Amino acid sequence: MHDFIDINEYKYELPNERIALYPLPERDQSKLLVYQSGSIEHSVFREIHQHLPTGSTLFFNNTKVIPARLTFKKETGAEIEIFLLNSILPSSIVSLAMEAKGTAQWHATIGNAKRWNSGKLQLEIPEGILEVELTDKVNSIVTFNWSPATLTFAEVISLTGKTPLPPYLKRNVAPSDRERYQTVYSEKEGAVAAPTAGLHFTEQVLESLKAKNIATNFFTLHVSAGTFQPVKVENAVEHIMHSEQIVVTRNNLENLINLKGKLIAVGTTSLRTLESLYWYGVKLQSDSTADFTIDQKFPYQKSVKSISREESFQIILAKMKKEEIHQLIGQTSIYIMPGYAIKTADALITNFHQPGSTLLLLISAFVGSDWKKIYSTSLENNYRFLSFGDSSLLWKKV
């Protein structure tokens, strides 16, 4: 692990007009930059199957963005915005929190918090009321109660919440955002930011992959708001990474172990999931009772012994079989930055990221200093940047 990484080395000039404020009319018409062994070519996302070897497997993050922004009005007229971060009660497991009925407690960011010290706020929902109370101002914990209590929390926020667009878009939410800031294969509700590499996929693209004998596999990382957290320290090593919840199935492990072709991560969240899973296998090697929690510093500890990708996944699968469990739920704060050796993926499908972000540090770990060539080329060729922008297929630098 490097002792010092100057975050200023990972900044570049991104003109405002290059930030895509809205998606293209057709998801798969975005540009595709293909990087391999130092060379770059330009394509269109609809043709991505032509750039992937037959027999590859793509690993997707099937998290679903929830309408996490809720706006309540006080009697004085002051607006209080509650941005959902993570669930506390009835469970910290996101899938269970989404099924809560009648009441739920969440950690949240509270907009205009100085105007709300106590008291309950209300929103009308069809044939009922959603009520919120500030349970703990210091830790920004809120408690929701609603009627009819037959509605799940997922249904309640679907009726009342807004799509949590990235803060850098600086625009109002459009009705189309609920569909377009969501992958076509999204399934597991709980993310407050989209796994944006997946926004380019259409049913047609998925069919073209299938026709070329390219497999698809789906697991879950619930993307948190921390993904947009800027690196505010000059030494990027000192940045505190956010934690995100992962759900991986036994089927995922079996597919990883039986992999014959190339392993392609669709998005930085999928790569973070794969790498976290690898390190969990490493943890289990020395402690069969270790929990599935990957701290940001764990991969960099000198005492940690690396093993092969397959060996790691075999260890996890053996544990799942022994304990007769079919899915793992874990937490990861994995921090992938220059100096980190990628253990799992051969290639990464990803968008173009903000200057000085942890995501750009991850890209640098994946392709080395060539990230500068990739980004300068994309700027010269009018690529669109960030969440609704264009795409890239990056092969790992070996």
pLDDT band at 39 (very low <50, low <70, confident <90, very high): very high
Distances (CA, A) of 382 to 178, 181, 379: 27, 22, 5
The domain spans of the chain are 7-64+180-395, 68-161
DSSP 25: S
CA proximity to 7, closest of 397, 373, 358: 358
- How far is 283 from 27, CA to CA, in rounded Å? 40
Its pTM stands at 0.96
pLDDT of residue 227: 83
Task: Provide the token pair at 144.
Answer: 């929701």
In the predicted structure, residue 52 carries a pLDDT above the cut 80: yes
pLDDT of residue 113: 86
User: Between 379 and 306, whose confidence is greater?
Assistant: 379
Q: Which pLDDT tens digit goes with each residue over 341-360?
A: 999 999 999 999 999 999 99
In the predicted structure, residue 114 carries a pLDDT above the cut 90: no
HEC per residue, 131-147: EEEEEECCCCEEEEEEE
In the predicted structure, residue 2 carries a pLDDT above the cut 90: no
Which own/partner contact pairs does 90-99 have at CB distance under 8 Å and 24+ positions apart? 92/245, 93/245, 93/329, 94/188, 94/189, 94/190, 94/222, 94/245, 95/188, 95/189, 95/190, 95/247, 97/153, 97/190, 98/66, 98/152, 98/153, 98/154, 98/189, 98/190, 99/152, 99/153, 99/154
pLDDT of residue 220: 98
> Architecture of 7-64+180-395 per CATH?
3-Layer(aba) Sandwich (3.40)
Give the mean pLDDT of 52-67: 98
**Residue recorded with tokens 């607006």:** 79
Q: Which pLDDT tens digit goes with each residue over 131-180?
A: 999 999 999 999 999 999 999 999 999 999 999 999 899 999 999 999 99
Task: Provide the token pair at 218.
Answer: 């789906």
- How far is 214 from 50, CA to CA, in rounded Å? 11
In the predicted structure, residue 48 carries a pLDDT above the cut 80: yes
pLDDT of residue 127: 83
* 363 Cβ contact list (under 8 Å, min separation 6): 268, 348, 350, 353, 371, 374, 394
pLDDT of residue 225: 83
pLDDT of residue 136: 92
